[in-house]
Structure 1
Amino acid sequence: MSNRLTNILIPVISVLLGIIVGTIIMLVSGYDPVAGYSALWQGIFGEVYYVGETIRQVTPYILAGLAVAFAFRTGLFNIGVEGQLIVGWLAAVWVGIAFDDLPKYIHLPMAVIAAALAGAIWGFIPGLLKAKYRVHEVIVTIMMNYIALHVTNSIIRDVLTERKDRTDYIADSASLSSPFFESITDYSRLHWGIFIALACVFIMWFLLEKTTRGYELRSVGFNQHASQYAGMNVNGNIILSMVISGAFAGLAGAMEGLGTFGYASIKGGFTGVGFDGIAVALLGGNVAIGVVFAALLFGGLKVGALNMPLEAGIPNELVDIIIALIIFFVASGYMIRYLIQRFSKKGVK
């Protein structure tokens, strides 16, 4: 069996195993799995409103997954996507409030770029420490998450608003919301950000697969010593990788600040989107198109889960368990790969 086919089968089998074990848990807990999964399906595709909400949820998942996947493809593990997303969210809203007299064709791109720059700067710091002092990026990015959370809360509370809980709404000229999408999806919160996310999917694929710089980034991630011997700038590529990864994460924050909510609020904890991005990247095999399909799955599960208590009486926590099981089986990919290879060898004989 080819390696590419195996890479496709592993996430598919992981999802199926997660669903099967989730079914067993529902039965043991006294719930009807058929009714549960039917309610989940209806919560994703049953109405155009749910479809719009699913795509809206998928949008930041794609960008968060790209952030994790890009760093992983270049030999780094960016656990700081959550923090980079939060500072991107704040930067986008800040620009969206501060420059309310600009035309939309200037104001909206400015707010989106501000989010990408904020996330890139937040990724630059662990990248620099990794390149210059070999400080492990996992430790630094975890700490940067908490710094981002508390710094943004302080700025919102003491600088941007007197309301103490959230900022004012952004100007219409900085909003990603669309009356067109509202009209065709029964007033869901679907916005133009999905096209930004899909454009970033193409950018990641093109950069890593079709450019010299992408080849260098992947080479440094694969073997730093060989890359340095070949004349590549190892430290520069490490920093650049974290900057690009952070920019993707910052854009995920812009999708929330400029599209879904239209404001920035005091956060009692993390949004969870950045951490879910790790699972999206793993399930998507750390490739651009795989991230899209994984984001569709996770976004569908998140939105569809809201319908399960209403129609089947099944608590949302069971969906979280299914997601956790899928992640577990993806993390056990080496075991699944081994079993696939064993069965394929027996089939050849």
Structure 2
Amino acid sequence: MTPAPLPRWVDLILLPLLNLSVAFLVAGLVVLAIGEDPLEATRILLYGALGWGEGIGFTLYYATSFIFTGLAVAVAFHAGLFNIGGEGQAYVGGLGVAVVCLALDRYVQWWITAPLAALGGAAFGAAWAFVPAYLQATRGSHVVITTIMFNFIAASLMIWLLVDVLAPPGQMSPESRTFEAGGRLPQLDGLMALIGVDTGSAPVNLSLILALLAAWGVWLLIWRTRLGYEMRTFGANRDAAIYAGVSPLRITVVAMLISGGLAGLMALNPVMGEQHRLLFEFVGGAGFVGIAVALMGRAHPAGVVAAALLFGVLYQGGAELAFEKPAITRDMIVMIQGLVILFAGALEFLFRPALGRLFAGAARREAA
């Protein structure tokens, strides 16, 4: 039997909150099982992420990366595609950012380098998504499999480039040279100080503003343009979209190019905004977290931003919790994040049938 449709506010707000509450309840039981107080652990986690200026800065820094990768997954979702190659696309996007910064940082100011680096990151990320998209559209190769494979290829490519091509002579660590001032994004400590938040050494930088603009741009694209309408139609009913004249090749390739470009933009945050050089593993799993962010945010830009902030809280607050409570190790923090992903993603429809029956019964009683 087809589940009863839910009110929009239930689908977008109540159901994610219910899934999230159950995830934290299960995590609390695990914390209780090892002899720690779940309420005290929650207090430390929230204070570590939101209770002081530097913690807020780190939370926003992590959230910035998750906004980009979450938007990347969300755009593909709307076209009926499951792009789990954000990790590799962000890796290669970092190469695009680094190439621009290494070429220009000694000659121009950051405000000239930054837009070119953003274009470089987006272009390299989009290029890395093109081959899986083309294979999906023309050969039927499943985009999930090809994007997974391309994640590993990207990691191997970056190791070779950082060791044999980009590393300065005599340097042993796999990284490029440090960028000069012209290749560094400004920090947002001054802006945050205007609202009374001292972010200290937190690396929250200008890419946060770009991430929010990207979320607004994705909203415009998906719900205010013809291309976005075609993508949503294609994702909802492929056969009907093709019958209406929508080209599956064009939609698949364009959606994946936009998705890969957004993932590539993520590299601005750590490469140009924090480390000021290209490092191995600078993505830090943000491409995979973006999948959970898009699922929890229901592939809507506003939901993606909110979910990215939640995972920013988990990352920063989890680090503080592991420091304050040695019994709660980093592995347990990863477990808590995994529970959130499990209930927000894999078990997304766990409570939907019951809620559907509840609201359907309420609607019948109201009609009677």
Q: CA deviation at 1:91?
A: 1.6
Contact 2:6/2:355, CA 8 A, preserved across alignment? no
Whole-angstrom distance in 2 between the partners of 1:277 and 1:2: 25
Unaligned runs of 5+ in 2: none
RMSD (Å) for aligned C-alpha atoms: 1.8
Conserved 8 A contact 1:58-1:299: yes
| Shift in CA distance, 2/220, structure 1 to aligned 2, threshold 3 Å | closer
Which protein is richer in helix relative to its size? Answer: 1
Q: TM-score, normalised by structure 2?
A: 0.90
* Structural mapping, 1:23-42, within 5 Å: 23-42=28-47
- Please give the residue correspondences for 1:1-40 in structure 2 after superposition, counting only pairs within 5 Å: 2-7=6-11, 8-40=13-45
Report the equivalent of 2:164: 158
**Cα distance 1:105–1:310, how it changes in 2: closer, same or farther (>3 A)?**
closer
Over 3 Å counting, the alpha-carbon distance change for 1:299 and 1:317 in structure 2 is same
Aligned to 1:131: 137
Q: Which SS does the other structure have where 1:278 is aligned?
A: helix
Task: Tell me if the contact between 2:104 and 2:182 (Cα under 8 Å) persists in the aligned partners.
Answer: no
Report the counterpart of residue 248 of structure 1 in structure 2: 262
Pair 1:180 & 2:190 matched? yes
| 1:111 correspondence with 2:117 | yes
SS for the counterpart of 1:135 is coil
Q: Which moved more, 1:293-302 or 1:155-164?
A: 155-164
Q: Distance in 2 between matches of 1:89 and 1:253?
A: 5
Matched, 1:54 2:59: yes
Matched with 2:79 is 74
Rounded to whole Å, the distance in 1 between the matches of 2:87 and 2:312 is: 17
Contact 1:181 1:190 in 2 (8 A): no
* Separation of aligned partners in 2, 1:311 and 1:271: 23
8 Å CA contact 1:177, 1:189 repeated in 2: no
Deviations 1:260-304 (A, max 9, x none): 21111234x972110111111111111111000100000110000
Do residues 171 (structure 1) and 180 (structure 2) align?
yes
Residue of structure 1 aligned with 2:88, choices 83, 86, 101: 83
Task: Tell me how far 1:332 sits from its aligned partner.
Answer: 1.5
Deviating more after overlay: 174-183 vs 78-87: 174-183
Residue number in structure 2 paired with 1:328: 342
Residue 275 (str. 1) matches residue 280 (str. 2): no
1:107 match: secondary structure: helix
Task: Select 1:95's aligned residue among 100, 107, 123.
Answer: 100
Distance in 1 between residues matched to 2:270 and 2:322, nearest whole Å: 26
Following the alignment from structure 2 to structure 1, what is the Cα–Cα distance between the partners of residues 279 and 200?
A: 26
Q: Give the AA of the match of 1:342.
A: R
Equivalent position amino acid for 2:150 in 1: M
For residues 206 and 233 of structure 2, the distance between their equivalents in structure 1, rounded to whole angstroms, comes to 35
Give the match's secondary structure for 2:190. helix
Q: How does 1:259-270 map to 2 (within 5 A)?
A: 259-267=273-281
Q: Which amino acid aligns with 2:176?
A: T
Give yes or no for contact 1:90–1:115 (8 Å, CA) kept in 2. Answer: yes
Equivalent residue in structure 2 for 1:63, among 59, 68, 74: 68
| 1:153 Cα deviation after fit | 1.4
Give 3-state SS (helix, strand or coil) of 1:35's partner.
helix
2:356 corresponding residue in structure 1: 341
Q: Which residue of 2 aligns with 1:238?
A: 252
1:176 counterpart SS class: coil
Against the structure 1 CA distance between its residues 164 and 341, is the aligned structure 2 distance closer, same or farther, given a 3 Å change threshold? same
Q: Which runs of 5+ in 1 are unaligned?
A: none
Contact 2:45–2:321 (CA<8 Å) still a contact in 1?
A: yes
Quick one: percent identity of the two aligned structures? Answer: 33
In the TM superposition, what whole-angstrom CA distance separates every residue of 1:91-144 from its partner, at most 9, and x where no partner exists? 211211122212333211111110000001011111111111111101110110
1:265 partner SS:
coil
Counterpart position of 1:295: 308
Q: CA deviation at 1:231?
A: 1.7
Q: What is the aligned residue count?
A: 348
Task: Work out whether 1:284 is the aligned partner of 2:289.
Answer: no
Distance 2:338 2:312 in 1: 14
Q: Is the 8 A contact 1:156 1:164 kept in 2?
A: no
Which amino acid in 2 is paired with 1:60?
S
The DSSP-based 3-state class of the residue aligned with 1:334 is coil
Taking a change above 3 Å as real, the CA distance of residues 219 and 164 of structure 1, as seen in their structure-2 partners, is farther
* 182-191 or 46-55: bigger deviation: 182-191
Amino acid aligned to 2:206 = W
In 1: Cα distance, 2:119 partner to 2:78 partner: 24
Once the two structures are TM-superposed, the CA of residue 233 in structure 1 deviates from its matched residue by: 2.0
**Structure 1 residue identity aligned to 2:199:** T
